[in-house]
Structure 1
């Protein structure tokens, strides 16, 4: 299963390079189910893997002219505040066992995976559904963009998710960016969000297996490199529905595995 996990890790970077998101959607299930990492620890690992890979991708897109720095900062700065609140104040205080229904204990780890699966299903629907670019506003709505950034930071803090599947639609509709610029700008935001979350985890002494972490990140880098090359030739909007169906299946699988199987 571990060999398959390393191969699957390439898809993390491939997704980020092609559509500017989806890396964390894949990272958490890969770590939990293929490498048997504890879900809470997997959120920390995901922040490092996705964040580091997104940094490389963001720099590559910057050289291609696909990164809007002002837009990224308006989105990322509010995210930083909500990430710190969630990971450093709220998350550590959540009990390992939340409550018990009959003889069935609902744990923090179960909650993480179920919420993540629900988010995956919601994100997959937005990926599958066709959007009309002509309905976008004519100029950037920075106050709304900042508010969306704060909300995405909550997701990043709780689930260890970069939030690209939420960032891309926000950049398309509130920042009026074309798809390729939304991808490049999203990668910088993902890096900032993930870096803040991971550094916060180091501050509270989260145990980190760096050898394992670097090996997964290296595989994701390979996927990112390939994804960026392909993004020059393939329209990301055509790939989103395909990826959306894949994410939908994974989300349903996680719910079934955690509750029924």
Structure 2
């Protein structure tokens, strides 16, 4: 029964990642805690495996489709590693009650943001979706032939990347809902490339956070995590193909509803424990 739950939950996570470009990993922690019986620290660690592998699969698929700006994704991810390490270390010194309560608040915020985005997206024009690929000849910092720095943009990258890393390291989530806007604001990427490039960032920060947690003495029950990850990775590929045929607006609306339901349940379980 545990294996079946892991496979079903992994399929939902992967379908969301593949069809909608992210979001599904936010479900990994509550699934691991409430459906598969793992502790909060175990779940946030195991979630990093699910997030990292599914993001890697999605990033490869997006790169093949020409929707990834690899150099910018790697650069942003490298800047975010400091935050990822700090977040991972911080997660080991707080109680599981605080960890779950923080995750519940995050889920409620994400669910609300998804609902607002869904409402604002109604009737939006599809014009300009296929923007031209931005050139890479406008660097933020150059050293040759002379030093030049677009310091306000550099500061944006540093702050947003660090926040993304902290979120990933502390709560074990990919943070695609934060990475995509961060790439839009800090690196001025067209929306067409932001979702795919965000998967590169998430792969890097998840891997770094997982390494930082190694040796903390908290290890998840690996078999459910492996089953969850495998199902999510396979479903991500199916979801990417489904996105070309299905109405992604309906899929997004259904996923938003699911996140809000899970967020309400997680909050009802976690927040009273703080009192």
State the TM-score, normalized to the length of structure 2: 0.79
* 1:244 positional shift: 2.2
Q: 1:55 to 1:110 in 2, by over 3 A?
A: same
How many corresponding residue pairs? 244
Question: Which position in structure 2 is the counterpart of 1:207?
Answer: 219
Which deviates more from structure 2 when the two are superposed, residues 116-125 or residues 48-57? 116-125
Please give the alpha-carbon distance, in whole angstroms, between the structure 2 residues aligned to 1:169 and 1:176: 10
* 1:243 positional shift: 2.1
Please give the alpha-carbon distance, in whole angstroms, between the structure 1 residues aligned to 2:23 and 2:188: 21
Please give the alpha-carbon distance, in whole angstroms, between the structure 1 residues aligned to 2:190 and 2:176: 15
Question: Which position in structure 1 is the counterpart of 2:112?
Answer: 125
* 1:205 positional shift: 4.3
Confirm or deny: 8 A CA contact 1:179 1:236 kept in the other structure: no
State the TM-score, normalized to the length of structure 1: 0.82
Question: Which position in structure 2 is the counterpart of 1:188?
Answer: 200
Q: 1:144 to 1:239 in 2, by over 3 A?
A: farther
* 1:178 positional shift: 4.0
Question: Which position in structure 2 is the counterpart of 1:70?
Answer: 71
1:109-128 deviation digits (Å, cap 9, x = unpaired): 22222211211111122222
Confirm or deny: 8 A CA contact 2:157 2:186 kept in the other structure: yes
Question: Which position in structure 2 is the counterpart of 1:198?
Answer: 210
Higher Cα Rg, which structure: 2
Question: Which position in structure 2 is the counterpart of 1:93?
Answer: 93
Question: Which position in structure 1 is the counterpart of 2:40?
Answer: 39
* 1:36 positional shift: 0.3
Show structure 2 runs of 5+ residues with no match: 128-133, 141-152
Which deviates more from structure 2 when the two are superposed, residues 201-210 or residues 122-131? 201-210
Question: Which position in structure 2 is the counterpart of 1:50?
Answer: 51
- Residue 268 of structure 2 corresponds to residue 256 of structure 1: yes
* 1:168 positional shift: 1.9
Query: How do 1:1-261 residues align onto structure 2 when only pairs under 5 Å count?
Result: 2=2, 3-88=4-89, 90-94=90-94, 108-129=95-116, 130=120, 141=153, 143-234=155-246, 236=248, 239-259=251-271
> How big is the alpha-carbon RMSD for the aligned residues of Structure 1 and Structure 2?
2.7
Please give the alpha-carbon distance, in whole angstroms, between the structure 1 residues aligned to 2:201 and 2:252: 19
Show structure 1 runs of 5+ residues with no match: 95-107
